[in-house]
Structure formats: structure tokens, C-alpha cells
Amino acid sequence: MRRIIYFLLVTLWSCNAVSAGGHGVALEAANVDLANKTSLQRGAGLFVNYCVSCHSASFMRYNRIADDLNLSEEAVQTNLMFTTDKIGDVMKVAMRPADAEVWFGVAPPDLSVIARSRGADWLYNFLLGFYFDESKPTGVNNRIFKDTAMPHVLWELQGLKRPVISHGEESSGHGAVAEVTQFETVIPGKLDEGEYKQAVRDIVGFLVYVGEPAKLVRYRIGFWVITFLLVLLVPAYLMKREYWKDVH
């Protein structure tokens, strides 16, 4: 028995060590809340306004968004559908992938399951992590995706920040700032830091939902299953008392 416990402890510890070793930079928790439909609705709005010009989410259909996020089809049609006019269509990208490849050197990937491959925390920190770097063609670099070809598409909201270089180092201009954690604002954004974090949390929440829409259905079913089991507990207990009455 002791051996088994020892084995389990060692296995758990090493799993932890592996997952912690994934990135050089500590990730801040995204804390997305899939039960918060308003946040998911805002996330959908931000996603279609700021992301589908380059990225598709080709596993997700607009009418499914309407159903899952408690939106009417009209609301989805007027507020969310810019790349198609069919409510049953998937979230297509506005630009042609071949053009995108010419412009950015790499085609922006489909984001349908990005939350499952990268994880919510990674996405959250990625969208928070852009900073000014004049050596890059896009003018920015990213704390956790070094030298990314993606421009800082949310810069108007977040503003632009520049790393504060400590220990007498000069900025090499090559994005060598993985260890830098201090940033100073160069251009202020429309949102303050808290508001921007919430906006990013909304987008990431939407991407988590897109990655596994059935999660919302499972939550709903799960609630009723547990309620049913709790209600069933009462007659089951009374029946048990009744049956065992004569035995004792």
C-alpha cells in the first residue's frame, strides 16, 4: 500500500513539473466563466469585430451561437455576421488565406479548437502580452509567443506598452525580454487595465466555448441530473427506513 501511495505521489509530482516547464514566462490565470452568458456574448462581439478578418472558426455555426448564448437569430444576424449572410453558415474568415500568407508570412490558423490546444491561460496571456518592438514588421512582439507574425489587433483598446529594461541592460530590439515583467505605457488605450483584462477574458471565454460547445449543454444537463438525484434521495431514504424497520 505504501509503495502505491509513494508511486502516485512521484507520478503526480512529475506531471506537475512537466506542465510547469512548458513556458519560460509565468502565466496569469484567465478565470473564464462559461456560466456567464453576457461575457460570452461580449466575447462573440469582440471576436467578430477583431478576429474573423484574419481567423476563421470553421467548426462553429452562427445559429448554434444564437441557441447557446440565448441570442435571437436577428440579433446574431445584425451584430455578429459580417462574413456571410446565411445563419446556418460557419464562422468564415474575411480574407483569403493565400493573401494572408503573403502579408504575414504565415496564414493565421483556424481558431475553432485553439482553446483546447493552447489552453485558456495561454490565450489570455498571449492577448495581454503584446509590447512595442520597433525591430518587428508589425511594430510589436509578444511576451509569450516570441516573434509572432500576428499584429497587436487590440492595440486601440489596450494601448501600447514598452518593456522596462532592468539590470543595466539595453533593449536589444530583438525581443529578448522574456524575463522582463515591467512595462510602461507608450500610448494609452481606450480601456484601462482592468477593463482590457475583462475584454480579453470575454474573448478567451468565447474561444473556450467554441472549442467545446457541448460543455454548456453538459452544465445544463448536469444541473438537472444532480437535482433529480437529490430529490430521489428522499423517497430512497424513506424506503430504506421502511424495509429495515422489521430487521432491527
Contact predicate 205/172, CB 8 Å: no
- Considering the rule CB under 6 A, would residue 154 count as an interface residue with ligand HEC? yes
Residue with cell 509572432: 148
- Considering the rule CB under 6 A, would residue 53 count as an interface residue with ligand HEC? yes
42, 55, 152, 161: which one binds ligand HEC (CB under 6 A): 55
- Considering the rule CB under 6 A, would residue 201 count as an interface residue with ligand HEC? no
Closest C-alpha among 158, 201, 199 to residue 30: 201
- Considering the rule CB under 6 A, would residue 221 count as an interface residue with ligand HEC? no
Question: Judged by CB, which is closer to ligand HEC: 74, or 195?
Answer: 195
Contact predicate 60/213, CB 8 Å: yes
Q: Which range binds ligand HEC by CB under 6 A, 45-53, 163-171, 173-181, 230-238?
A: 45-53
Closest C-alpha among 65, 69, 16 to residue 38: 69
Q: What is the torsional sign of CA 227, 228, 231, 236?
A: negative
Question: Judged by CB, which is closer to ligand HEC: 108, or 159?
Answer: 108
- Considering the rule CB under 6 A, would residue 203 count as an interface residue with ligand HEC? yes
What is the gyration radius of the CA atoms in the chain, in angstroms? 24
Closest C-alpha among 211, 53, 185, 218 to residue 123: 211
Interface with ligand HEC in residues 58-117 (CB under 6 A): 104, 106, 108-109, 111, 114
113, 149, 157, 165: which one binds ligand HEC (CB under 6 A): 149
| Cα end-to-end distance, the chain, whole Å | 37
- Considering the rule CB under 6 A, would residue 191 count as an interface residue with ligand HEC? no
- Considering the rule CB under 6 A, would residue 140 count as an interface residue with ligand HEC? no
Question: Judged by CB, which is closer to ligand HEC: 15, or 102?
Answer: 102
Question: Judged by CB, which is closer to ligand HEC: 54, or 65?
Answer: 54
- Considering the rule CB under 6 A, would residue 151 count as an interface residue with ligand HEC? yes
Question: Judged by CB, which is closer to ligand HEC: 105, or 168?
Answer: 105
Q: What is the rounded CA–CA span in Å between residue 230 and residue 248?
A: 27
Closest C-alpha among 189, 191, 197, 204 to residue 47: 204
CB of 59 to ligand HEC, least distance (A): 15
**Which spans of this chain sit near ligand HEC (rule: CB under 6 A)?**
50-51, 53-55, 104, 106, 108-109, 111, 114, 118, 123, 126, 148-151, 153-154, 203
